[in-house]
Amino acid sequence: AWRRVWRGKTLPAIAAFKPDLIFISAGFDAHAKDEIQGPVNLGVKEADYEWLTEELCKIANTSCQGRIISVLEGGYRIQGGVVSAFGRSVAAHLRVMFRDNREGWNTEACQKELDLELKQRRLGKEAQEAARAASLEAARLREEAAILAAQAAAAAAKGGGERGEEAAAAASMGDGVPSKRRRKEVDYTQLNAQLEMESNGAAAAVAPAGVEPQAVELQAETPQADIPQTEEAVPEEPLAEEAVAGEPHAEVAVMEEVVEA
């Protein structure tokens, strides 16, 4: 962005002005490692300062017979001395200033460089957008695969048979996205028969000897209220005047005695 502004606006304006002398206020506090910028970091490197010095020298060669003066300005990242960000930037600037550079300013070349930079920037944005779209599409496919897997699991739990297997296969493929883990195919018919055999075997194990498991189950299911309750018959005590079996009644005996008398 820093070079793009210089190519697109500042350098063409200086060249169009056709100065008689160029003074450079050589400040290097826009360096990427200089903290004085605060939250807005232009990200300028030593190569950028070297490039800008070359462009200014070209304009000076074209407009004012190479007359150019540079005065040192800012730059506060001095830790490290000559190898600091400030030291390397000053060295890059001075290398160009002391170089025998007779090349003149070319507006068309500057415009081509600007167009190339804009193209690279556009391609970079397109690549970022394509990567973002691919990421969203992958997330959508994963979500669809998860839904299909849940549907397959539900179908398998309900004994879906072949339909459950087909849904599980579709979920494992995920519309062209292979699954990391594939489920083992299950024969649900055989599994159902095995479960029934195990259930019947468990019922036979708890049934009494000689009683069919089904009969035991029916007895267990019979409500307690449906079983008729029979009260034990309490034997009635014989009446005092009731004669003993095989003997005549007492009153009959008395009457017979009266008749005889």
Domain assignment of residue 64, yes or no: yes
**pLDDT, position 207:** 52
Domain assignment of residue 56, yes or no: yes
Give the structural domain span for 63.
2-105
Beta-carbon-side half-sphere exposure of residue 147 (alpha carbons within 13 Å): 7
Region 11-22 average pLDDT: 93
Domain assignment of residue 211, yes or no: no
Cβ atoms of 155 and 171 closer than 8 Å? no
Q: Which residue has the higher pLDDT, 148 or 158?
A: 148
Name the band, by pLDDT with cuts 50, 70 and 90, for residue 71: very high
Name the band, by pLDDT with cuts 50, 70 and 90, for residue 241: very low
Domain assignment of residue 33, yes or no: yes
pTM for the model: 0.47
Task: Give how many domains the chain has, as a whole number.
Answer: 1
**pLDDT, position 245:** 46
Domain assignment of residue 164, yes or no: no
Return all residues near 132 (Cβ < 8 A) that are at least 6 apart: none
Domain assignment of residue 96, yes or no: yes
The rounded distance, in Å, linking the Cα atoms of 5 and 239 is 133
Q: Which two tokens stand for residue 33?
A: 């490692």
Domain assignment of residue 24, yes or no: yes
Domain assignment of residue 62, yes or no: yes
- Position 155 pLDDT exceeds 90: no
Cβ atoms of 88 and 33 closer than 8 Å? no
Maximum average pLDDT range among 43-47, 221-225, 248-252: 43-47
Region 121-148 average pLDDT: 90
The rounded distance, in Å, linking the Cα atoms of 240 and 242 is 6
Residue 80's CB: how many other CB atoms inside 10 A?
Answer: 12
